Amino acid sequence: MPEGLTASQRKSALKLQVEALSPYSHTGFQVVWSGNLAQVWFWDEARIASQRPPKKRVQTLPQTLLQPPLDEGIRLLQHLHGYEGQYWAQGQLHASQYWRVEPNRETWLAFQREAGVAAEAQQTDVPSPQQLEWLDQPYARVAQFELSGLAGKLPVLWYSAIAALLLLAIWHGVAYLKYRQANELLEARAEILREAASGVLETRNAALDALAQLEQLQALLQRPNTLQIMDDLLGILPQGIHIKSWKQLDSTLIVDFAGKRLLNTAKLIDSIQQLHYVTTVQAGDAKADELQLKIGLRL
């Protein structure tokens, strides 16, 4: 979050970010603050509420908050419904990723690279998953919120695809929120540059320098995010074709499509190549009524 925000402004800004990211019509989320850094977990509150005991007030907590934290290091945890990779630095959870099945060596290395782990500190082999003891209380103070009314803002097909891919009781948003935080900082910097440019119009060279910096920042802000890519792909797919699985490794997106109308694959590949942020499209492994595409992204 930008510096100088009051507690109320910080809370409102965070709610707007979660509202933009969440695919759910009724979203619950937990926040752990460390200065201006927010660690956020959010989930489908309607689904969780349907599983709570009737007439009992129960607090929803991410499993991560109920397991002992680390000061420094990388670890792989086995949860009730999958596996979680964690990268800790200076007592803070800097990156987290969830998998339904145990990650392989390639996936584990990709997680460490995306988390910003130094090359010499990366683990080349996948460690044995740890099953930690439960804590009596969360290891950090949390604030719980709920949002509603988001469903009308999302196309029906987009919402269905996101829900199918991310149908988890609790979905970690730590890494993605850090990306959103970086966007906020870039936007704040862009606003400062706009004000500087308006105040130095008499000095032509200084104004042109500020404008050049602003254009560079705007180019960074226009990079496609995961939800935009998903929305574009769903808009391209012929009727009867759906996305079966989705995985992104650095600038490569691996998508498995399924359906009984996967005959004209050349037309589908050509449509995907028309997206302005796509560099290459390669057909990968294929089975009956299935097609895998490896899509290169311009990031």
Question: Tell me: the pLDDT tens digits for 144-162?
Answer: 555 554 333 444 333 433 4
Cβ neighbours of 199 (radius 10 Å): 12
Looking at the domain covering 226-297, what would its CATH class be? Answer: alpha beta
Give the mean model confidence (pLDDT) for residues 37-45: 80
pLDDT value, residue 2 = 57
Dist. CA 241–CA 261, nearest whole Å: 7
Long-range contacts, stretch 89-92, CB < 8 angstroms, 24+ apart: 92/34, 92/37, 92/39
Confidence of residue 285 (pLDDT cuts 50, 70, 90): low
Dist. CA 13–CA 78, nearest whole Å: 33
Q: Is 51 helix (H, G, I), strand (E, B) or coil?
A: helix
> What is the overall mean pLDDT for the chain?
77
pLDDT value, residue 175 = 57
- Give the Cα-Cα-Cα angle 133, 47, 224 (nearest 5 degrees): 90
pLDDT value, residue 169 = 39
Ordered DSSP codes for 97-130: EEESS---HHHHHHHHHHHT--GGG--SSPPPPB
Ordered DSSP codes for 128-174: PPB-PPPPSS-SS--EEEEEE--GGGS-HHHHHHHHHHS--SSEE-H
| Total-model pTM | 0.43
Helices and strands of the chain, counted as H and E runs: 8, 11
Domain boundaries, the chain: 7-172, 179-221, 226-297
Q: Do 168 and 81 meet the contact criterion of CB atoms below 8 Å apart? A: yes
Report phi then psi at 282, rounded to 5: -125, 135
- Is the pLDDT at 269 greater than 80? The verdict is yes
Tens of pLDDT, residue by residue over 187-218, are: 888 888 777 777 776 677 777 877 777 777 76
Strand order in the sheet with 171-172: 143-148, 26-34, 37-44, 171-172
